């Protein structure tokens, strides 16, 4: 009779990295679906981290497989005429369209980005309203207020990147 294994310490950095990678995969899949790209098609995807602590290190193969990216490159994403922009809080990605697709971005791409922008702006407004509430600032513990400020700054950056993708 062996003892039941005990859980070790949590690796919060690894948990954040995996959560960011899953969010990137979800965003890529949604963008492909909304653009009418066949789910099984392997497409070149360029990914760039937008935060200093964002990384796909060790997860590239999983992200490439789950996002159907061949090749998956990390580095500078350039907005080309025949790409679909994907923006998450941690990453920006450019999905190359299949050769048979039109060179111009579709109205669906723009609508998707506008919808994401509206949702991000609503979350940003809620975060700013919370920080403008003097009762919250007086009663909440300092670490909660600091977290709310960090969240507001992150949301503001995400909104700016979405606005930049829309042009």
**Position 120 pLDDT exceeds 80:** yes
Domain ranges of the chain: 13-103, 108-166
Distance between CA atoms of residues 36 and 54, nearest Å: 29
- The mean of the pLDDT values for the chain is 86
Distance between CA atoms of residues 125 and 127, nearest Å: 5
What's this model's pTM, rounded to 2 decimal places?
0.65
**Position 26 pLDDT exceeds 90:** yes
**Position 163 pLDDT exceeds 80:** yes
Confidence of residue 160 (pLDDT cuts 50, 70, 90): confident
CATH code at 108-166: 1.10.287
What pLDDT, in 10s, does the model give residues 60-108? 999 999 999 988 888 765 556 678 889 999 999 999 887 644 444 566 6
**Position 138 pLDDT exceeds 80:** yes
């Amino acid at each position: 009779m062996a003892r039941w294994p005990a859980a070790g310490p949590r690796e919060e950095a690894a948990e954040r990295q995996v959560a960011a990678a899953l969010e990137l995969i979800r965003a890529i899949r949604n963008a492909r679906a909304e653009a009418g790209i066949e789910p099984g098609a392997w497409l070149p995807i360029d990914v760039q981290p937008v935060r200093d602590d964002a990384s796909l290190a060790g997860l590239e193969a999983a992200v490439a497989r789950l996002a159907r990216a061949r090749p998956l490159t990390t580095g500078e994403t350039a907005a080309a005429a025949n790409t679909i922009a994907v923006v998450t809080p941690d990453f920006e990605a450019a999905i190359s369209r299949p050769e048979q697709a039109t060179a111009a971005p579709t109205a669906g791409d723009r609508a998707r980005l506008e919808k994401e922008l509206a949702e991000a702006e609503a979350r940003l407004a809620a975060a700013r309203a919370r920080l403008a509430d003097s009762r919250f600032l007086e009663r909440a513990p300092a670490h909660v207020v600091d977290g709310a400020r960090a969240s507001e700054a992150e949301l503001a950056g995400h909104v700016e990147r979405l606005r930049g993708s829309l042009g």
